[in-house]
Amino acid sequence: MKTHKIKKEQHVVTAKKGWAVRGEGNSRRTKLTATKEEAINRARNIAKNQKTELVIHNKNGRISDKDSYGNDPHPPKDKKH
């Protein structure tokens, strides 16, 4: 029986000392960075490698942006990336 690894969205969230990358459902951070830009770049690379979603949050925790790097059944109509 073949088991499939569940692919997790990568979230960019605030941390006490900067910004963090966290896989969906994980209690631990994948990476802590000094800036939001660094966290976004790191999370984007992980999302591309795993063919998942990148979810970027603002300081208040609300989602500010999303990018899909997998087989999105409903691809966005914008062409920003």
Whether 47 is in a domain gets the answer yes
Whether 48 is in a domain gets the answer yes
Q: Provide the residue range defining the domain that includes 43.
A: 10-61
Whether 72 is in a domain gets the answer no
Whether 37 is in a domain gets the answer yes
Longest distance between any two alpha carbons in the chain, whole Å: 44
Whether 52 is in a domain gets the answer yes
pLDDT tens track for 6-32: 678 999 999 999 999 999 989 899 999
Whether 20 is in a domain gets the answer yes
pTM: 0.80
Whether 45 is in a domain gets the answer yes
Number of domains in the chain: 1
pLDDT tens track for 54-73: 999 999 999 999 999 876 65
